[in-house]
Chains A and B, each alone.
Chain A
Amino acid sequence: MYRSFISLRYLVARPTNLIGVVGIFVAVGALILILSIMTGFLEESRRTIRGSLSDIIVEPYFHGFVPGEAIPDRPGPMLQTLRGLDGVRAAAPRLQWAGIITQSGPDADKFQQIFSSSTHASLLVAELVGVDVLTPWRVAAPAIALSTRARAWVAPDFRIQDEFDATELMGALRRVAEDEDKTQDPDDELTELFGRPRAPVHNPLFPFQPPPEYVRNGRPLASCIVGKQLFRSLGLARGDVLEIGTVVPSKEKGWNLNNRRFVIAGTFQSRDNEMDAARIYVARSELADFLGDSKTFSQTLVRLENYERDGERLVREIRETLEERNLILGGLNARQEVRTWEQFRINVLRAIENERVLMGIMLSLVLVVAGFTIFAILSMMVTEKRRDIGILCALGATPRGVLDLFLLIAFWDAIVGATLGTVVGVWSAIEIDSIERWLSSALNVQIFNRNVYLFDHIPSVVQPVWVGTIVLGAFLCSLLFAAIPAWRASRLDPLVALRYE
Chain B
Amino acid sequence: MNYFIKYPKLSQFVILLILFSLLCILINPSENNFLWRFPSLIAGLPHLINDSVSYLMYDFMPIDVYDPEIEEYEERPLIKEFTRTLSGVILFCIVFIREILIGGVKTIVFFTGWDFIREHKWLYWPALPWTVVAIGTIILGYSLRGKGLALLAGCATMYIAIFGQWEPAMETLSFVLIAAPVSFALGLFFGVLGYKNKTVETLLNPLLNVAQTMPHFSYLVPAMVFFGVGDHAGALATIIFATPPMVRLTMLGLKNVPSEVVDAGKMSGCSEFQLLYKVLIPTARRDILIGVNQVIMQCLAMAVIASFIGAKGLGFNLLLALNQLRIGQALELGVCIVLIAVVLDKLSLAWADKQTDYFADKSFIERNKYKLVFLAVLLFGFLLAYLGTFIFKEGFNYFYIIPHNKGITTENFWQAGVDWIWDTFFFTLKAFNEFLIIKILMPMKHAYLSMPVVATFLLVMGVGYIIGGVKSSLIVGGFILFIALTEWWDRALITAYMTTFGVLVSAIIGIIVGSLCAQYKISSKFILLVCDTFQTFPSFIYLIPVIMLFGVTDTSVLIAVIVYATIPATRYTVEGLRGVPQSLQDAGSMSGVNRLQRYIRIELPLAFPHIMLGINQTVVFALFMVIIGAMIGTDDLGQYILKALSDKKGIGNGLTLGLCVAFIGLAVDHLIRTWSIKRKSALGIL
Chain B binds chain A: no
Interface residues of B (CB under 8 A from A): none
